[in-house]
Amino acid sequence: MSKLDINKIRSDFPIFADKSLIYLDSAATTHKPKQVINAISNFYSNYYANVHRGIYELGMKATEAYQSARQNIANFINASDWRSIVFTGGTTESINLVAYSWARKNLKTGDEILITEMEHHSNIVPWQLAAEETGVLLKYIPINTDGTLDLSNIDKLITSKTKLVSIIHQSNVFGTINPIKKIINHAKKVNAITFIDAAQSIPHSHVDVQDLDCDFLAFSGHKMLGPTSIGVLYGKTELLDSMMPFMSGGDMINSVTMTESTWNDIPYKFEAGTPKIAQAIGFGAAIDYINDIGIDKIHDYEQSLLKVALEKLKSIDELEIYGHQTGENGAVISFNLEGVHPHDLAQFLDQDGIAVRAGHHCAQPIMNKLEVSATIRASFYLYNTEEEIDKLCASLRKTQSFFN
């Protein structure tokens, strides 16, 4: 196993004081270390105030912490300008922001949007709605049953009509890490805008937006040790500058009269109302925590867990793993146990203190492709252990014997 001080890491998470809990659902949401919890508590307890408003010590301290978190996140993804970091409610809101403020203003009948069959619903439905309203054709890159994208016809899918390509970086079902740089390069040949859903990749590996040269990228705080209800939309500043606001109200304005208004500079133009101050501060603390350990160390450790988990799960008769046959994958495994409905299996595992996800994972097109209604998903993060994998396999075998 790659070396992390796993005992020290687990001691940072209050929830793991319950030694019986085996949490294998980090692809849905991650638990929070005390450093994040304390950062939020400290804000509320010691310097709570609104930001960008009060010219007094508490207000200035809160503003400094809020803005520091934004710069911290910009550094984490190697954004060249902090103004390209827009705080949103999460990845879903970030996608909707672009669907409303860019797509509906720039697309017209005859244009095309390209997504993939692998997408989370949050990267399908906003584009369906935008396509319906603009008369745009929505196309998709198909997937193979091994959990990879079928890029054999990429030159026919990305054409001069393609104006937007929006793709998931890492599948939340298969763990497949898509060749997004290759797809971005194809999109650039026809001057298409690119949007990357990085909700599942950024918590687990280094993502450099300048290296990718994507136009937009989105991710969520709660999937990387931070609070819920905060996410990030990264956008190239020239694009963000050209876009209309997504929501309107306070803080996103420059001036208001009874007849007209003008807009604030980016990123504030897209952050109407009282900002997500506590959430941003907590998110910044989560980034600090990840940086202190090292994202590359986290990635290597997760990959070692993934290798062990795949080997041990494959030894269980009548257990089918989806994907993980070729290519690079994140530490996510979807599977089914023959003769046991995924929802039933999840309940049996829960009786042994094992938390996994059961369902379609907000990816019904993938389930349709696999011809299943649902799967079990086990997903790993820096606080999981090989011992937990052993207990998962033992519980699966026990459940299997109950049904046989």
Residue type, 381: Y
SS (H, E, C) 141-185: ECECCCCCECCCCHHHHCCCCEEEEEEECECCCCCEECCHHHHHH
> What confidence tens digit (pLDDT) does each residue in 240-299 have?
999 999 999 888 888 989 999 999 899 999 999 999 999 999 999 999 999 999 999 999
CA–CA distances in Å: residue 276 to residues 70, 187, 230: 11, 34, 7
Instruction: Indicate the fold that domain 37-291 takes in CATH.
Output: Aspartate Aminotransferase; domain 2 (3.40.640)
DSSP designation for 358 = E
C-beta pairs of 18-21 under 8 Å, 24+ apart in sequence: 20/353, 21/353, 21/355
Known catalytic residues are: 362
Segment 203-220 mean pLDDT = 98
pLDDT digits (tens, 9 = 90+) for 110-126: 999 999 999 999 999 99
Domain regions of the chain by residue span: 6-31+294-403, 37-291
Run of H or E including 242: helix 237-242
Q: Is the pLDDT of residue 65 over 90?
A: yes
- Which CATH number does 6-31+294-403 carry? 3.90.1150.10
pLDDT digits (tens, 9 = 90+) for 93-113: 999 999 999 999 999 999 999
pLDDT of amino acid 252: 86
Taking Cα atoms as reference points, which of 121, 91, 107, 102 lies closest to residue 234? 91
Query: What pLDDT was estimated at residue 55?
Result: 86
Query: In this predicted model, what pLDDT tens digit does every residue of 311-334 receive, in sequence order?
Result: 999 999 999 999 998 778 999 999
Check pLDDT > 90 for residue 302: yes
The Cα-based distances of 355 to 30, 188, 387 in angstroms read 12, 42, 15
